[in-house]
Amino acid sequence: MDTADLEAKVIAFIASKVENIDISAITTASKFEELGFDSLDTVQLLFDAEDTFGVSFDGEEVKGLRSVGDIIDYIGKHPPTDAV
Amino acid sequence: MRVVVTGMGIISPIGTSTDQFWNAAINGVSGIVSIQCFDASNLHSRIAGEISGFTPSAFLSAKQLDQTDRFTQLALYAANQAVEDAGGLDGYDPRRLAVSLGSGMGGFATFESSAVRKLQNKSIPPFSVPRIMANSAAAWIATKHGLKGANLTCSTACSSGANAIGMALDLLRTGKADAVVAGGAEACVLPLTMAGFEALYALSSGFNDDPARASRPFAKGRDGFVMGEGAGILILEKEEEAQRRGAKIYARLAGYGCACDATHIVAPDRDGQVAAMQAALDDAGMTPDQVDYINAHATSTPLGDVVETKAIKQLFGERAPEIAISATKSMIGHSIGASAAIGSIATIMSLHTGTIHPTINLDEADPECDLNYTPNHAIQKKIQTGVCNAFGFGGNNASVVFTTL
Domain extents for chain B?
3-244, 255-395
pLDDT computed for residue A63 by the predictor: 86
> Are B3-244 and B255-395 equal in CATH topology?
yes
pLDDT tens per residue across span A10-55: 999 999 988 888 899 999 999 999 999 999 999 999 999 998 999 9
State whether residue B55 sits within 8 Å of chain A by CB.
no
How many Cα atoms within 13 Å fall on the side-chain side of residue B231?
31
Region class of B130: left (phi > 0), else alpha (psi between -120 and 50), else beta: alpha
8 Å CB contact between B91 and B179: no
Task: Give the model confidence (pLDDT) of B48-105 as tens digits.
Answer: 999 999 999 999 998 899 999 999 999 999 999 999 999 999 999 999 999 999 999 9
- Residue B234 phi, psi dihedral angles, 5° rounding: -115, 150
- CATH number of the domain at B255-395, out of 3.30.70.360, 2.60.40.10, 3.40.47.10, 3.30.2350.10? 3.40.47.10
Residue of B nearest to A15 (CA): B62
Distance in angstroms (rounded) separating the CA atoms of residues A30 and A14: 11
Across the interface, of B62, B63, B125, the residue whose CB is closest to A47 is: B125
- Residue B155: phi and psi, rounded to 5, are -120, 90
Can you list the domains of chain A with their CATH numbers?
3-77 (1.10.1200.10)
Q: What is the pLDDT of residues B344-393, one digit of tens each?
A: 999 999 999 999 999 999 999 999 999 999 999 999 999 999 999 999 99
pLDDT of B86: 98
Which of B62, B124, B126 minimises the CB distance to A40?
Answer: B126
For residue B57, the chain A residues in CB contact (below 8 A) are none
Catalytic one of B154, B258, B334, B369: B334
d(CA B112, CA B253): 36
**What is the predicted pLDDT for the residue at A79?**
75
Side by side, the strands of the sheet bearing B396-403 are B151-154, B97-102, B179-187, B229-238, B3-11, B251-260, B396-403, B385-392, B293-295, B324-326
Q: What is the pLDDT of residues B106-117, one digit of tens each?
A: 999 999 999 999
- Which residues from B are below 8 Å from A43, CB to CB? 126
Q: Which CATH superfamily is domain B3-244 in?
A: Thiolase/Chalcone synthase (3.40.47.10)
- Tell how strand B179-187 and strand B324-326 pair up: unpaired
